[in-house]
Amino acid sequence: MKSDTKKGAIGVFDSGYGGLTILDEIRKRLPEYDYLYLGDNARAPYGSRSFDVVYNFTLQAVKYLFDSGCRLVILACNTASAKALRTIQQKDLPVIDPKRRVLGVIRPTVELLGQLTKNGHIGVLGTPGTIQSESYPMEIRKMYPDFHSYGQACPMWVPLIENQEGNGEGADYFVKKYIDALFSQCADIDTVILGCTHYPLLYDKIMKYMPKGVNVIRQGAIIAESLEDYLHRHQDIDGKCSRNGTCKYLTTESAEKFKSTASVFLEECEDVKQIILI
């Protein structure tokens, strides 16, 4: 572990490419900081993996980012936030380094619901892992005990995007299928969380099949705002985040493959290095 006085980049972790939609919004809002993105692309998707596997992979990634100097790591992945965040915060951080922080994407998203819903009926679209974990309903119950939530797993959406078929005609079938399945649970849902970092890339098609007037929540801007707020409130952590406006990328896949697929999510992505997580 590096010296405690040294400043480091803000770590952003995702199972694959989806977290780039979050990183993009964070960099727009907080361009002065340095960022180190880690995509576990060789082992993605995490969406259908068991609790223990997602936890172990995520912990390996967090340790790698810490060893690379990060003081603060954002789990920009709903599946990792759902299955690994709490254990890492409660069990691992006190042992690894109690002064470092790991934050997720679920809580900041849920916090916003009170401002958006009129009737308290919330839909959550996510990977099978995120939906099965019940993390969203648990967080919603804690914050808004009167709300009702309905989860729908969308196992085909991430593969469609990763295979660059998100804009193809075949995608329409699966987008409509899962939205219909969500609203068949409750026709009164007035707010829907896109609870997976990939889903903003399907936004146009999602809106095509979404009933009119429903609020659809994309997480990028929300996470960026909540990070800014967090850094204001935690000057000790903020003071340990370096500010040269750089962004570097780590991937468990080949750097060339990462650059080529990342171009679907980001305009520019140059400084990419392949790593092994163990």
Active-site residue list: 77, 196
Q: Closest separation between CB of residue 12 and ligand DGL, Å?
A: 12
Burial class for 145, CB neighbours closer than 10 Å (0-12, 13-18, 19+) = exposed
* CA 214/CA 123 separation, integer angstroms: 10
**Phi, psi for residue 271 in degrees, rounded to 5:** -85, 85
State the Rg of the chain over Cα.
18
Query: Which listed residue (158, 160, 250, 272) binds ligand DGL by CB under 6 A?
Result: 158
Nearer to ligand DGL, 150 or 240 (CB): 150
- Print burial letters for 49-88: b (CB count within 10 Å at least 16), e (below 16): beeeebbebbbbbbbbbbebbbbbbbbbbbbbbbbbbeeb
* CA 277/CA 253 separation, integer angstroms: 11
Q: Closest separation between CB of residue 198 and ligand DGL, Å?
A: 5
Nearer to ligand DGL, 58 or 191 (CB): 58
Q: Closest separation between CB of residue 139 and ligand DGL, Å?
A: 15
Query: Which listed residue (11, 18, 104, 166) binds ligand DGL by CB under 6 A?
Result: 18
Query: Which listed residue (47, 69, 108, 166) binds ligand DGL by CB under 6 A?
Result: 47
Report the site for ligand DGL in 109-148 (rule: CB under 6 A): 127, 130
Q: Closest separation between CB of residue 159 and ligand DGL, Å?
A: 9
Query: Counting contacts by CB under 6 A, is residue 14 touching ligand DGL?
Result: yes
Query: Which listed residue (13, 15, 151, 261) binds ligand DGL by CB under 6 A?
Result: 15
Q: Closest separation between CB of residue 16 and ligand DGL, Å?
A: 5
Query: Counting contacts by CB under 6 A, is residue 251 touching ligand DGL?
Result: no
Nearer to ligand DGL, 121 or 198 (CB): 198
For ligand DGL, the nearest residue by Cβ is: 47
* CA 22/CA 29 separation, integer angstroms: 11
DSSP assignment of 19-51: HHHHHHHHHHH-TTS-EEEEE-TTT---TTS-H
Q: Where are the beta strands (DSSP E) in 127-246?
A: 148-153, 191-194, 215-217
The H-assigned helical ranges of 186-219 are 203-209
Report the site for ligand DGL in 65-94 (rule: CB under 6 A): 77-79
Query: Counting contacts by CB under 6 A, is residue 39 touching ligand DGL?
Result: no
For residue 98, give both structure tokens: 């109690």
Q: Which stretch binds ligand DGL (CB under 6 A): 4-12, 42-50, 222-230, 258-266?
A: 42-50
Contact residues toward ligand DGL (CB under 6 A) are 14-16, 18, 44-47, 77-79, 127, 130, 158, 196-198
